[in-house]
Structure 1
Amino acid sequence: MTYVVERTFRTLDSRFGRLWSAHEAYLHALSARGTLIGGGPWDGEGGEILLIDAPDEISLHRALRPDPLVRESLVAQSRIRSWNVAYGRPGFTGGTAQSPPPAAAALTPHERRIAHLVLAGHTNKDIAGRLGVSCRAVEQHLTRTYRKLSIQRRAQLAPALGAALPTALAPAPQREQLTA
């Protein structure tokens, strides 16, 4: 499940500037593990929005707990929502689960993960680096995904899954360190 985490920070605290680079290193580590799938600034420079892939809320909180800004109590507010990327609709956690379309249900978890990254605007090379696989492996997964969904190209993926990722949640190009 993908979660949207909106956080605002206590930026006036003297520790904030000192811990920011450690926070960015933490985000890079989450991204390398495939847990952080997107993000960027939110609420000006006083916050951030993160798209986190976690099996459940407990795992989500376990993933967020080691963040240096969390450990030092520099997160002023945090709002967590579930985000069903396959349908493009936000919903508060604890809501009823929707079953995926029959074709999308045939996808393996790895194919779904790659499809979600494609919908988020990542290139095959970005996806390969994020997941620690070759570009060719990503291409093969996408080819199988297209075959299962009876489509022929990347542009048909969102309609085949009934999805549209809003531009507000697409990875922010000016903050590549959060989406790399």
Structure 2
Amino acid sequence: MDKILLQIAAELKVRPAQVNAAVTLLDGGATVPFIARYRKEVTDNLDDIQLRELESRLGYLRELEDRRAAVLKSIQEQGKLTPELAAAIDAAPTKQELEDLYLPFKQKRRTKGMIAREAGLEPLADKLFADPSLDPQAEAAAFINADGGFADAFAVLDGVRDLLSERWAEDAALVKVLREW
């Protein structure tokens, strides 16, 4: 039996056969009031509240599974799908967590962080993040690159900030912690 049906059955604390019968009727075009009133014997007396919750969860979980498949396909086409990432995507219980996992792989426009990375500022960002006691101005002086758009130390540090901000915004675990905070 479909894992969506089993999940809904567990959430509603009903038998999987009841969920299966209700889903069959809903997929056949029956409405919740019709099923609650005229098809009670088929669903083994699921009431309209249970049926509405079932219908809502069914729609959400089907959308989640469709999105999960699209995310997996997109990451695989990029050649960046690892077994660990695939397992995390398969285990994501909500659309939000799924999108958090997908964020680093999403195709996006050229950002300030990307420009800073292309200009070679990533080693400086790593160095400053690893050792906060360093003098940012002095360290940034070695990375000044007028051709790359980083004409002075302030511009370099702005690029480092953009790069680190982007990195943290794409960290699914950090985003989850911050969202719960």
- TM-score class, shorter-chain normalisation, is under 0.3
Higher relative contact order (CA 8 A, sep 6+): 1
When normalised by structure 1's length, the TM-score is: 0.24
- Structure 1 or 2: larger helix share? 2
When Rg is computed on C-alpha atoms for both structures, the one with the higher figure is 2
